[in-house]
Amino acid sequence: MEAKSPSECPNTVTVRRNPHRRARPTPFASTNPNPNAQNPNMKREISSFPIQDILAMEIPQKNPPEPPAPATSENLKVYLRIRPIVTLKPNTKDQKNFRQRQKNAWPQNPSSKNNSANVKKSTTTTTTTTSSNEVCIDVNDSHSVILSPPASLQDSKRIKSEVYEGFSHVFASDSSQNEVFEKMVKPLVDDFLNGKSGLLAALGPSGSGKTHTVFGTPREPGMVHLALEQIFKEAQQCGSKLTREFKVSVFEIYSDRGKGEKISDLSPDGGDLSMQQATIKGLQEVAISSAAQAESLIACAMLKRTTAMTNTNSQSSRSQCIINIHSFVRDPDAEPNNAVLTIVDLTGAEREKRTGNQGSRLIESNFINNTSMVFGLCLRVRSLLEHQSNPKKPLKMHFKNSMVKPPINEYLVAYEFAYSTQFDFISPQLTRYLRDYLEGKRRMTLILTVKPGEYDYSDTSYLLRQASPFMKIKFTNVEEPSMFLNKRHIEMLPRVEQAKKMKCSGRYAKTEEGKSVRDEHQLLPKVTKRIYTSDSVSAAPVKLDSVDLPRERNHHVMQNFAKALWNVLKQYKEKLMDPRCQNDFEPGNDQDVFAEAPECNTTQKSDGTPGHDQNIISEIEESVHFLNLKAIECDGSPRKDREATPKKYDSTPIQDQNVIYEIEEKDHFLNLKASECDGSPRKDQGATKKCDYTPRHDQQPIFSQIEEKDYFLNLKAPECDGSARKDQGATKKYNYTPGHYQHVFSQIEEKDHFLNLKASECNGSPRKDQGATKKYDDIPGHDQHVFSQTEEHVHSLNLRASECDDSPRKYQDVVTKKSLDPSVSPKDVASTQKCNLDVPESELLSDSSCKPLNVLKPKRRLLPASSTLLRDIPLGIEDESENPKGNRGAKKSAAEETKRTQGSISLLRLLQSNLHV
């Protein structure tokens, strides 16, 4: 047969999913098409490489990638400002007032600071500059100074003049505020406006001019005011509308009468603050839109600041004052180059001899000195660490002029000590707050203020010696402002929000876990298969880190539950496949069934699964469980059923897991429904066996944890329409039920239980019934335990002996005349169970209460072959009737004998006699 061409096949449609892409025409191809391509018959000639054309093409020049910015390495900028010599020449009256005020100079009422300020101005009215020989420090050049000891010290201690160099700039005593601002603060402001954060800290002895430099006076505004003016000036030059938003916060750290440090918000509505790690909690940031507004805020803060009069300063600052100027970009689309400019006015180190402080003021003075000392110590250690990072640099350079040269370890210990929170008296809060600066992560500028008087030599010399290593400090890898602010923002979040943030990140990870969980749901067959083929160890519950989350915990529990259920079903399947268990169903081996059933269980428990399951289920805290185990119809052949049964349950864990996963109810319903068994005996046998062990393993651990109040145990024996062997199987199904529910009931606290065992029609032959009776041989023992542990108030045992075809009238009459006694004993149950009990569903539903059996008239079914089938079954009815159990029952009072039980016994005896067993 000739192959047809594709064109002859009209129904064939070729769909190309991924059509070939057309090559994008190059400029050369579009402008200079190859003529040979248009005429393929022409001899192709290899054209020369169009190098000229290519070279003529203009290739857009791309800017080469910028090399990564080198790591910023900046030296700590240290400025030195020499205060003009101020001699206090108060008149007699002012001096008297000064001494009076000095007595009561302890942290003044902020409201009275105006008065003290006025007093200060009145007492420091005269400023004179001493002659050159009266000063201890002179400007050598713009970066160095000469410190000269007083003549007295030169003669006695032979101290020579020293040169301190390396300053970024030295401001002479006659320098103006504007000069200081232009050279020292303006670069900081420019960086600030460019998004770089910075710190300006004023350090020096008391009365050296720190506050004057930082805040100034109305006539000589300080760096804060000048900086604010510059900031708004620059910001307004960028456009009519401010693209940035500025906020100012002012707070102070002061000593609470020597009891400890306190932080106070100096903003108008500010109060006490607290520090958490390196952040100030509750600090108010006041939005400002103009320099005047900011100046007003600063002036108000200065009125609130803690000051006092000392011998060295009529208005000595008794606290560290910190001003933050935050810059925020208003445009959300703009580059987030937020920055903060921090200006710190530290308390000045003071000597007791000069200040004349006593008592609590002396403690406060110690606090102040410690603050300065620790701050300087941190910087010195910082310089030491800088040396360690650059060992080539001689160490002595760092401490050339230092008075104290402790070993390195001592510095490190002191460094840690400075950050320690255990010693509040050294003011760790300031160093903690400025830790990023002290550790070199942010840009910092120091302004050292000194007094030039000859009596100020010691203070000046001490400061210069302490600060001499500062100039060598290098800040490498300075954190970018945006990064810093982001980190700072996170740090400023309360713990709860941080935890949320962490949780969010964790949740993100857990979202992936959740995804995997969902994937596990989708791949549950694989999971279950893994569990099925693995031992108990490998079938350990999947570890989920999110147990703390309720939902995931629920999932975890449910997953374990499903695994436990699956293991039970696995055991059940194994039991079905176990030939010993299969032989148990052979006639005459019924007794052995009960004897070997535990053995089968033991064998299957050898992997430890039940115990494992119990442990797993013990984790179940859910209030609601629905376990719906329904034996579905067994329609197939025996072999098919035997294998189909576990297959049916293969999916049960998945279904149950999914079902139970969604359940949040309070009630538990255990509905075990044995459906119709229509198949052959082997089929029923398999189906029955399934029902035998499913509850035993599944529900025992489950119910051991159940705390619910309502249980409904509905055991429904379906109609057994099949042959005697079918009934035998169906009956056998209930043989194990009491044993199973023995454990169930042991945990039940419910008040109402209804065990409705309804004997339905006995359609089989006498041998069938006989066989059925044998199936219940072991039931009394089980039931006895069951009922002995049951605390129910109401028990209704409805055993209905339905018609038996082989002895229709007699049995029917006997049975129907008997009424059920609720107080039937297990023994009675045992005796009654010798009848092939079968409970139609319809009856069971309607029979939750005790109703006489004669109300119901089950169908009569004739099964002619039943007697022959039962002939093969060696029933031990005689033995059973003569069983000690029966004797035990005889011991009971006649009142305890229920009519139903008696009727059942009579029925069985009639069966025996009529069937000639």
876 is in an annotated binding site: no
Closest CA to 184 of 195, 200, 196, 203: 200
d(CA 481, CA 485): 6
Determine the interface stretch with ligand ATP among 81-89, 405-413, 615-623, 879-887 (rule: CB under 6 A). 81-89
Of positions 123, 197, 208, 604, contacts ligand ATP by CB under 6 A: 208
Contact 835, 760 (CB under 8 A): no
Q: What region, left, alpha or beta, does residue 77 occupy, with left being phi > 0 and alpha being psi -120 to 50 degrees? A: beta
CA distance 33 to 21: 19
User: Residues 421 to 480: which contact ligand ATP by CB under 6 A?
Assistant: 449
Cα-based distances in Å from 537 to 534, 608, 612: 8, 9, 9
Which segment (209-217, 252-260, 597-605, 826-834) binds ligand ATP by CB under 6 A?
A: 209-217
| Chosen residue from 107, 204, 771, 903 binding ligand ATP by CB under 6 A | 204
Helix (H, G, I), strand (E, B), or coil: what is residue 165? strand
Centre a 10 Å sphere on the Cβ of residue 186 and count the other Cβ atoms it contains.
Answer: 17
Q: Measured from the CB atom, is 204 or 646 closer to ligand ATP?
A: 204
The binder of ligand ATP chosen from 123, 264, 311, 317 (CB under 6 A): 317
> Residues 149, 195, 198, 207: which binds ligand ATP (CB under 6 A)?
207
Cα–Cα distance measured from residue 621 to residue 232, given in angstroms and rounded to the nearest whole number: 63
Between residues 214 and 815, which has the closer beta carbon with respect to ligand ATP?
214
Query: Is 211 known to sit in a ligand binding site?
Result: yes
Does position 206 interact with ligand ATP (CB under 6 A)? The reply is yes
- Minimum CB distance to ligand ATP, residue 374 (Å): 16
Q: Which stretch binds ligand ATP (CB under 6 A): 80-88, 323-331, 544-552, 571-579?
A: 80-88
**Interface mask (CB under 6 A) for ligand ATP, residues 529-568, using x and -?**
----------------------------------------
CB of 249 to ligand ATP, least distance (A): 21
- CB closer to ligand ATP, 205 vs 701: 205
Q: State the minimum distance, in angstroms, from the CB of residue 310 to ligand ATP.
A: 7
Whether residue 93 is annotated as binding a ligand: the answer is no
Q: Which is nearer to ligand ATP, 86 or 715 (CB)?
A: 86
Cβ neighbours, 10 Å, residue 3: 6
Per-residue interface string for the shown chain with ligand ATP, residues 324-353, x marking contact by CB under 6 A: -----------------------xx-----
Instruction: Tell me if 362 sits within 8 A of 450, measured CB to CB.
Output: no
Count, residues in the chain: 917
| Residues touching ligand ATP, count (CB under 6 A) | 18
One of 36, 72, 75, 84 touching ligand ATP (CB under 6 A): 84
Identify each DSSP E strand in 658-776 by its residue range. 668-674, 711-716
Q: 446: helix, coil or strand?
A: strand
Candidate residues 255, 316, 737, 796; the one interacting with ligand ATP per rule CB under 6 A? 316
Buried b (16+ CB within 10 A) or exposed e, 62-101: eeeeeeeeeeeeeebbbbbbbbbbbebebeeebeeebeeb
Residue whose CB is less far from ligand ATP, 121 or 281: 121
Q: Is 187 annotated as a binding residue?
A: no
User: Which residues are CB-contacts of 683 (< 8 A; sequence separation ≥ 6)?
Assistant: 634, 635, 636, 637, 638, 640, 641, 677, 726, 729
Judged by beta carbon, residue 168 or residue 314, the one nearer ligand ATP is 314
Which 96-155 residues touch ligand ATP, going by CB under 6 A?
A: 124
The answer to whether 198 and 341 have CB atoms below 8 angstroms apart is yes
Q: Considering only residues 113, 169, 196, 212, which one is a binding residue for ligand ATP as defined by CB under 6 A?
A: 212
Residue pair 843/856 in contact (Cβ under 8 Å)? The answer is yes
**239 CB neighbour count, 10 Å cutoff:** 8
Nearer to ligand ATP, 174 or 269 (CB): 174
- Outline where DSSP puts E strands in 663-708: 668-674
205 marked among binding-site residues:
yes
- The beta strands (E) that lie in 384-468 are given as 444-450
Which range binds ligand ATP by CB under 6 A, 210-218, 247-255, 427-435, 769-777? 210-218
* Bind-site residues for ATP: 204-211
The binding site for ligand ATP (CB under 6 A) comprises 83-84, 86, 124, 204, 206-212, 313, 316-317, 347-348, 449
